[in-house]
Structure 1
């Protein structure tokens, strides 16, 4: 008979393993010595130890599923419970029980992790849907379109939820993209229609601009070109392939007209500059008539100067007020001299002036007498009132006397 701390072999070759519940039969051995029998079943025990150790490592270090891990544990437990090995089977059961708890903990951990990932995925997809629905109302067609495409890629990278939730969120997401695409398509269709209308309008404006390019009716044509430019700006842009060509034709027609006008105006400006020199010389000649001493000869000289003035053409617009003002000043001086002469030599006017002066002098003398009387009677209020009236009459008298002096006396 042979034995060790965990097992023994009896005389019949039966091998036993010691457990807390007593000895259990491991098997029979007839091929060799009892020591060989124990060694054989001890090796079986070591094999179980190795397998359990490998399974423990797999559970700790790999993504072995809880289901597969439990299957492996059950398989090893069957072998341990079959008592076909000699060793501390209770220790192996304890390790397997501990491994079951580890697997269960991993299962709960992974379940919690999946739940967390699911919540995160749901939140992420809800955020994508919310942003997509906001973008569906955007008029930033290029930026919003690019962002929606990026959201699709992000969606594809997220884990799936339960089928109902995933389908509902995807329906909203897809609907938002479709709504944006529909609005964008309608916008560009309308834009195409507007650009086609702009093209037809600009074709008409170009035709008129080209027809006007040879006009020599400078003022009205230039004004019409300004109106055409306003209409051009109001028409909006045509299609890109037409816009530049239409603009070049439109601008080219204007350039032809304005180049011709500039050439004519340059000649006119040169002529008007020469006219200005001539009129300045005449203005200087007229100014030499001042001050007027001989009205008759001054009038004749100014008439001659004015006839030559009228024969000269236009001068530059900005210089016109100054040079004409010089002539008008001489003309006004002549008119004032004529009026003075007429008043001096008009007997009726002189008589009227003398009569008015006499009346005013009499009124002034009367008021002075009334003031003296009022003062003598102590009626100062009446005297003060009469003095104010006297001031007015005296002013009129002084003016009348001055006018009378112009008649030479």
Structure 2
């Protein structure tokens, strides 16, 4: 192999032609050239500078002593150029590593700050299921960040971990204290509700008469609070069962009463049919007498089924109101003061009508259209007023 300072033997290749021997040592050069090219590409791609520097050193030794035929000097020159690139790469990667470290530190700090925010929440208002899940997610994120993110200075990493651990400890302590207090409160509620259940069950011998007392107990039950869904549901079932005993007795009584009162309902419906004829009656004396008769028979008929009380009473009230209106209207018409005023006004209207009729006759003789029109309108108005006061 010819070099700048002379020739150098690169090896032997026995039992082959000169062409085959030369081709063998040329392939050795091609392999070295491929390694240098690959290293150049890695440097351009931003591979770690330390790895590039190590590979440059190793390849430089291999090229210097290579048993190969080719432009080894060019390879050595390219490797030398890579040495300069490594220096630039080292500086650039140092800047990038610093920036990545700062970003990693900020990300780790954000995890800690979120944990501290959760720790600062009011335990009484905290949704503990969601908060516990959020804390678990933050811890998993912390572990993943430790494993995958760029390394951060040990001192700062330790300080952040202390803060995170303190926040997690605070949350756990608050959670335990909250549920301990809640358990105590639930226990008190359960005790109160158990007492209410016993009182409700003691009402059973009273039957329907115990319902008012049971309703008072129900108000106390609502005010007692909750003691946990499962326990509350089970206790409510017992309390309700005690009430059902009372209401079932009442239902039996109501059913018996309804059967007894059904006949009364038939009588009252017939009386209503008779009474409702008074809605169009104009004779107040006749209406009052018939209504009084119906009311006596109504009272004697007795009670009706509970669900029919309101409908039949409303129909009767409507008839009574109509008869009462007949009396009121009669009184208004025959009230001495009202009558005197009406008669005085009627006299004035009769005088005005006579005068207007004379004016109308005079206007008709003179065929004065305007006076005819005015007199006619005034006359119609006075007659309407006279009719309105019943004269």
The question of 1:260 aligning with 2:249 is answered yes
1:194 aligns with 2:185: yes
Look up the match of 1:98. Answer: 81
Post-superposition offset of 1:324: 9.2
- Residue 157 of structure 1 aligns to a residue in which SS? helix
1:347-366 maps to which residues of 2 (within 5 A)?
none
How far 1:142 moved relative to its partner?
A: 0.9
Contact 1:6–1:87 (CA under 8 A) maintained in structure 2 = no
> In structure 2, do the counterparts of structure 1 residues 274 and 325 end up closer, same or farther at CA, with 3 Å as the change threshold?
farther
Q: What displacement does 1:72 show?
A: 5.3
**Match among 2, 10, 19 for residue 40 of structure 1:** 10
SS in structure 1 opposite 2:205? Answer: coil
CA offset digits 1:203-260 (Å, max 9, x no partner): 1111111111231353xx3222222222222222224553333222111111111011
Q: Which residue of 2 aligns with 1:165?
A: 156
Deviation at 1:173, TM superposition (A): 1.8
- The answer to whether the Cα contact below 8 Å between 2:29 and 2:69 also exists between their aligned partners in 1 is no
Query: What does residue range 247-286 of structure 1 map to in structure 2 within 5 Å?
Result: 247-275=236-264
**Counterpart selection for 2:202 from 194, 211, 214:** 211
Q: Match of 2:132?
A: 145
Structure that is richer in helix per residue = 2
Query: 2:198 and 2:169 mapped to 1: Cα distance?
Result: 43
Deviates more, 1:157-166 or 1:253-262: 157-166
C-alpha distance in structure 1 between counterparts of 2:48 and 2:285, whole Å: 128
Matched with 1:113 is 96
- Cα RMSD (Å): 5.1
| Cα shift readout 1:13-58 (whole Å, capped 9, x = no counterpart) | xxxx16xxxxxxxxxxxxxxxxxx7433899x98799658636634
User: For the structure 1 residues 164 and 276, does the alpha-carbon distance in structure 2 shift closer, same or farther, using more than 3 Å as the test?
Assistant: same
Assess if the C-alpha contact under 8 Å between 2:204 and 2:245 holds in 1: yes
Residue aligning to 1:54: 35
Going from structure 1 to structure 2, the CA distance change for 1:90 and 1:324 (only over 3 Å counts) comes to closer
Provide TM-score, normalisation by structure 1: 0.56
| Aligned 8 A contact 1:196 1:239 in 2 | no
Q: May I ask how many residue pairs the two structures share in their alignment?
A: 300
What stretches of structure 1 of length at least 5 have no aligned partner? 8-16, 19-36, 334-409
Q: Aligned residue for 1:366?
A: none
For residue 261 of structure 1, give the secondary structure of its aligned residue in structure 2.
helix
Q: Work out the CA distance in 1 between the residues paired with 2:318 and 2:67.
A: 138
TM-aligned CA deviation for residue 106 of structure 1: 2.8
2:10 alignment partner, SS class: helix
Report how far residue 325 of structure 1 moved.
Answer: 9.7
Q: CA contact under 8 A between 1:213 and 1:257: conserved in structure 2?
A: yes
Hey, what's the Cα distance between the residues in 1 that align with 2:234 and 2:79? 87
1:116/1:308 CA distance change after superposition, 3 Å: closer
1:149-193 deviations in whole A, cap 9, x for unaligned?
111111112233101221222222222222221211111111111
Deviations 1:251-308 (A, max 9, x none): 11111110110110222233344345557778979x99x9879xxxx9xxx99x9998
User: What TM-score do the two structures reach when normalised by structure 2?
Assistant: 0.58
Which residues of 2 match residues 339-350 of structure 1 at below 5 A?
none
Unaligned runs of at least 5 residues, structure 2? 13-21, 327-391
